[in-house]
Amino acid sequence: MAVSERSHPPTPASVEGAGVLLGMIRSGRARTVTQLADAMGVARSTILQRLDHLQRLGLVRSEMRTEGARGRPAAVFGFDPRAGTVLAAHLGLTGVRLAVTDLDGEVLAARFRTVDVARGPGAVLDLLHGTFEELSAEAAAGPVVGVGVGTPSTFELKAYARGHGLSAVGWDRDEFRDALAARYHVPVLLDLDVAMLALAEHRVSWPDAEVLVCVKLGTLIDASVVVRGLPVRGADRLAGELGHIKVTDADDPCACGSVGCLDAVASGSALVRQMVAAGRPVDHVSQVVQLANDGDRDAVHLIRRSGRRIGEVLSSVVNLLNPAGISMWGYLTEAESLLAGIRESLYQTALPGSSENLRLINTALGELAGVRGAALSVIDIVLEPRAVDRAVLTGSWSA
């Protein structure tokens, strides 16, 4: 349904405020022309003009509803999440999950691809481009409005390189982002994968939690803390290095150059080394997890011990931050014996008052948590009011 009989080309004056209006519609605070005019303190004609612009871009749709038993029909406006799509990727050290989502962050199509980051950004970019093309065709949705990629931290990349006998992993984040922007001509956001994961987990599953801790338990160990809806970055953007907290009675060398770090004794790569040292031919943590779930005594023992060490470190986090929950993601969380080990030491060593109401669970978003977070991070940027005004004025989502 059109909101006016005659459409007028957008001008800066007519567009100003369209993004704020869209935000009201998305939140449900106002849905009719009268409600929107009252909320924004402008004339109905101004609202109609802004709605017309938003409809041209496909962001708003309307339907006629009757308010009350004897009310007159009125147009009720809603946000159309299929007006555009976001390309999202969650890059790990040994694989990448890719997805196309709508503007609500709902996944329309997804794939997992194996890739070793040690091959460098060129190989990863080729993989992203090819897979995004497949997924976009499968999703058959709106135009691409943004690209979001969650990546391991520079610290993780360096540790991974050292752990595999490499001098370095040749990643330049600025060049990687620029290559994506040159390909898609839309806003591109790169951020730490665990921060994006935590954002999605909080937004979808823990919206009322003042403090949430999200832990990545995979090839390496990392974490992100969300406080009042925002991931904490730290003064040097190094907040969350859980894997490099020292563990009691451990002196194993860590790839960071220190000894006794949680990563060195309890991460997926540590478990692989421990299994190989015991004469077991494994080369990836997923194999250790599968052996443990099949009842292999060596694997069960190592993963249970890993859980206890992780729980020991997390108990200090709980004492310090008193989070509502700890949400976990990664290969190790698929091991049935891991959570038992974490609970065992965490609840023994954390203050009872801090842990009494603590919820300790695997992510409710499953394997799609990372791409959901990447998509939501991009959506926050492209649907910010000023960005919407700019897109309406130019008729394009180009950066």
pLDDT in tens, 83-114: 999 999 999 877 899 999 999 999 999 999 98
What percent of the chain has pLDDT above 90?
72
pLDDT for res 169: 59
User: Domain 12-79, what fold?
Assistant: Arc Repressor Mutant, subunit A (1.10.10)
3-state secondary structure of 105: coil
* Phi/psi at 289 (5° precision): -60, -45
Tell me, yes or no, if the two domains 84-186+370-385 and 207-364 fold the same way: yes
188, 179, 167, 201: which is closest to 122 by C-alpha? 179
- Token representation of residue 115: 């890739």
Q: Under a CB-based contact definition with an 8 Å cutoff, are residues 338 and 301 in contact?
A: no
* Phi/psi at 214 (5° precision): -115, 125
Q: Where are the domains of the chain?
A: 12-79, 84-186+370-385, 207-364
* Whether residue 5 has pLDDT greater than 60: no
Chain position carrying tokens 């996944």: 107
pLDDT for res 2: 42
pLDDT for res 164: 65
User: Domain 84-186+370-385, what fold?
Assistant: Nucleotidyltransferase; domain 5 (3.30.420)
Regarding predicted confidence, which is higher, 104 or 159? Answer: 104
326, 127, 112: which is closest to 213 by C-alpha? 326
Regarding predicted confidence, which is higher, 120 or 394? Answer: 394
Q: Under a CB-based contact definition with an 8 Å cutoff, are residues 30 and 24 in contact?
A: yes
* Whether residue 70 has pLDDT greater than 70: no
40, 89, 10: which is closest to 388 by C-alpha? 10
pLDDT for res 77: 95
| Predicted structure pTM score | 0.86
- Token representation of residue 57: 């871009």
pLDDT for res 14: 86
Pairing of strands 144-151, 85-91: parallel
371, 293, 377: which is closest to 110 by C-alpha? 371
> What is the average per-residue pLDDT within 219-227?
93
Distances (CA, A) of 193 to 73, 153, 245, 322, 348: 47, 8, 20, 23, 30
* Phi/psi at 365 (5° precision): -90, -5
Beta bridge partners of 192: 151
pLDDT band at 172 (very low <50, low <70, confident <90, very high): confident
Pairing of strands 107-114, 95-101: antiparallel
> What is the average per-residue pLDDT within 358-376?
92
181, 221, 182, 204: which is closest to 311 by C-alpha? 221
Determine which of 87-101, 162-176, 263-277 has the lowest per-residue pLDDT on average: 162-176
pLDDT for res 170: 63
pLDDT band at 4 (very low <50, low <70, confident <90, very high): very low
* Whether residue 236 has pLDDT greater than 90: no
Q: Under a CB-based contact definition with an 8 Å cutoff, are residues 57 and 392 in contact?
A: yes
Chain position carrying tokens 């990546």: 151
User: Domain 207-364, what fold?
Assistant: Nucleotidyltransferase; domain 5 (3.30.420)
Regarding predicted confidence, which is higher, 178 or 174? Answer: 178
